[in-house]
Structure 1
Amino acid sequence: MDKPSEHPARPGLPGNPRDDLAYRHRPGTRAEYVAHQRHAGLTAVGRLLLQLPVLLVNLLLVAVAGRALQQWCGLPYGILPGLWLAAGLLAFHRPTETLLARYLLRLHRPLPAELAVLVPVWREVTLRAGVEGDRYELWIEDGPGLTASAAGGHLVIVTRHALETLTTSRLAAVLAHELGHHTAGHTWARLVSWWYALPGRLLWLAFRPVAGAARRAAAQLPVPLAALLLISALWGTYWALTRTYGLALGLVLLPFLSAWVARREELRADRHAAALGFGDVLAGLLAEQPEPAAGGALSLLLSPQPQARTRLHHLQH
């Protein structure tokens, strides 16, 4: 891949005052792709390891459902768990991924005018990274934010507002950040984690009305009975911790550890953008973003997004 310094500055595209890339590869430039265009980084591996307890719990739920189906309709016991495990591979199947993007995430393909802005910038980012850009699919989200995101095995998503508002250098910085999520394996690790936690989420959605009714009923209990239930719950928690040698405590800590891994993923993607020459541009964009209202130490520990000043610190050092 040609060195960025070998290219002179080029003027903006005619009629596009937002085109402010300092340089770009000449049309027709041949790219030298790196051998390993995506890998499993430490944060991706860490996410998968943290999800192992969740996987086991959800596998148990699916196994129970498989046993119930065996008793009710004679379906072989291993069919449902086997289908559930195998179906996770469909999420990486491009046609399936397209259906998920269109109907679950409510995305749409870029229109010709959007492609005219997006494709040259994406090409520049992937050329600098030595990555084959055609491996990924560009999608548009009708959202108000100046953001982009990466999802699944191949999706790169840009909000319409970002496409219409950001200069080309800032758009390139945002895309370079999202490409960093793909090349480091963050997106496929998130997809695996989401898919194999789906049975538990569906069960929770089904029983959430029951839990709400139980909570409201508990609020009406006499104080002595409520205190007895609370003591029983605390005793049950203590029993679980001692009988499982503290493993139950790991489930309590899991959301905090998962959030910490997610924040490390964001900082890793920032470093990827900086390595492609977009560090200063990304820092300028972050400096203009308003900090969300403080929600206390607990909300910070559970947030998957690092604070803007933390990201700026890591970009500048």
Structure 2
Amino acid sequence: MGRFPATSTSGAVPASLGPGESEPPRASRPTARPENDLVLQSGRKHMKAYQRGMDGAAFSQLVVAVPTALISLLVVGIVFSLVSPLLGVVAAVLWLLSGPLVFQRRVEGAIARHLIGMRHPTPAEAERLGTVWEEVTRRAGVDPATYELWIQERAELNATAAAGHIVGVTRHALDRLPDSRLAAVLAHELGHHVGGHTWAGMLAEWYALPARTAGRWIVLGLTALFRTKKFAGIACGGCLSLFIVQFLLIFAFTESMWWLVLSVAAGPVLITWLNHRAEFRADAYAVGLGFGDELLEVLETEHRAGAAPAGSPQGGQPYFVPPPPPYVPGPAATPRPGLTPDTTRLVTKAAHTKFEARIRQLRHNLADG
């Protein structure tokens, strides 16, 4: 389900051909749809021996995630040790070995459906995506059946590389993008998969989950205590805050674990920078496949739509960069509950800055190419 073999859409001879007639060359086929402007290259390209790899951005993301993973391992061991010391050791080992499970097809499907809000394409969507995906993967020398195409109900011209074998295309992109630009977006996401950004990010998020969950619970608990506006609650919150600060100081300096504390504190900043580098690499990959001009048009269109005032003819919906997996389901252009107007403006400004940087780098790649 969701896979598109190389022969699924273009390998069959149309039924309208009579005996002895041959199928016209791919590049000269009549366009059945106004959006069917993708130039299909003729000729066969051999599949690459390695369908995916790990570039510098993916490797660096794994390295940056190690300190948080160590804290997660400690959290899992401590929680289950409250029941039994032996159970704590067993749970920590099992959790450490559970990483590869997130790359199983069924687990990936559950993540895509329930955490990212994806669905399988309809037959009509699968037919169109199959033709475009076949051209992208053929140029890349990648087996199209290696990955699955899913649909996201999100209001942005985007696609998402998720888990280890899933590429999600937004319904908005299917409705508004012609085939050439849709191919450029898919080529960009294929670059994430081929470079290893997707599986490295998923693995890093998985191993960081216990530590981040514990951190959120601590923050929520302290916030609840301070919001009681009662002396007992505020006093308990203050005491717990002082205890946490004292524990971190002792752990960092007395136990000489300052490198771990510093690494965890700097982790989000480094991961954000590495994500930007991964975007540049995926853009360069799309340029290498011959989709640079089309990708530049998509980025400029989305950038203009995000910069336009609300209610303007250009669109006016701010572009919200999706968080690292597990993603929050729902339209990406809808502000999350609880965001203040100032925070919303900061997020929108950051997204615009990211677009501008990608556009500049993409133009540089096209000029060099």
Task: Bin the TM-score by the shorter chain.
Answer: 0.7 to 0.9
Cα distance 1:237–1:62, how it changes in 2: closer, same or farther (>3 A)? closer
Cα distance 1:231–1:205, how it changes in 2: closer, same or farther (>3 A)? closer
1:112-146: CA deviations, max 9, x gaps? Answer: 11012111000000001111110001101111211
Cα distance 1:77–1:200, how it changes in 2: closer, same or farther (>3 A)? closer
The answer to whether the 8 Å contact 1:92/1:153 transfers is: yes
1:63-89: CA deviations, max 9, x gaps? Answer: 112322315xxx644321122122221
For 1:18, the aligned partner's letter is: E
Following superposition of structure 1 onto structure 2, how do residues 122-137 of structure 1 map, counting pairs within 5 Å? 122-137=133-148
**Unaligned 5+ runs, structure 1:** 1-6
Give the aligned partner of residue 269 of structure 1: 282
Q: For 1:211, which of 213, 216, 222 is the aligned residue?
A: 222
Separation in 1, partners of 2:74, 2:244: 23
Give the aligned partner of residue 58 of structure 2: 44
**Unaligned 5+ runs, structure 2:** 1-24, 308-317, 320-340, 365-369
1:206-251: CA deviations, max 9, x gaps? Answer: 4444121233358979xxxx99999998777666554437422332
Moved more, 113-122 or 230-239: 230-239
1:78-101: CA deviations, max 9, x gaps? Answer: 321122122221111112212222
For 1:51, the aligned partner's letter is: A
SS in 2 for 1:156: strand
| Residue 313 of structure 1 pairs with residue 337 of structure 2 | no
For 1:174, the aligned partner's letter is: V
Give the aligned partner of residue 18 of structure 1: 35
Separation in 2, partners of 1:236, 1:98: 41
1:121-174: CA deviations, max 9, x gaps? Answer: 000000011111100011011112111000111000001111111010110000
SS in 2 for 1:149: strand
| Residue 199 of structure 1 pairs with residue 246 of structure 2 | no
The answer to whether the 8 Å contact 1:266/1:306 transfers is: no
Separation in 1, partners of 2:278, 2:144: 21
Q: For 1:56, which of 49, 57, 70 is the aligned residue?
A: 70
Q: TM-score, normalised by structure 1?
A: 0.82
SS in 1 for 2:119: coil
CA RMSD after TM alignment: 3.3
Separation in 2, partners of 1:188, 1:269: 14
Separation in 1, partners of 2:125, 2:139: 22
Give the aligned partner of residue 3 of structure 1: none
Moved more, 31-40 or 154-163: 31-40
Give the aligned partner of residue 4 of structure 1: none
| Residue 180 of structure 1 pairs with residue 191 of structure 2 | yes
Following superposition of structure 1 onto structure 2, how do residues 61-76 of structure 1 map, counting pairs within 5 Å? 61-70=75-84, 76=87
For 1:49, the aligned partner's letter is: V
For 1:139, the aligned partner's letter is: W
| Residue 78 of structure 1 pairs with residue 89 of structure 2 | yes
Q: For 1:256, which of 263, 269, 291 is the aligned residue?
A: 269
1:12-48: CA deviations, max 9, x gaps? Answer: 531x101112x2135xx54301222211110000000
Cα distance 1:187–1:304, how it changes in 2: closer, same or farther (>3 A)? farther
For 1:307, the aligned partner's letter is: K
Moved more, 163-172 or 284-293: 284-293
Cα distance 1:50–1:306, how it changes in 2: closer, same or farther (>3 A)? farther
| Residue 117 of structure 1 pairs with residue 128 of structure 2 | yes
Cα distance 1:303–1:258, how it changes in 2: closer, same or farther (>3 A)? farther
Which structure shows the higher helix fraction? 1
The answer to whether the 8 Å contact 2:61/2:274 transfers is: yes
The answer to whether the 8 Å contact 2:26/2:41 transfers is: no
Cα distance 1:295–1:38, how it changes in 2: closer, same or farther (>3 A)? farther
Separation in 2, partners of 1:257, 1:59: 21
Shift of 1:281: 1.1
Q: TM-score, normalised by structure 2?
A: 0.72
Cα distance 1:246–1:84, how it changes in 2: closer, same or farther (>3 A)? closer
SS in 2 for 1:288: helix
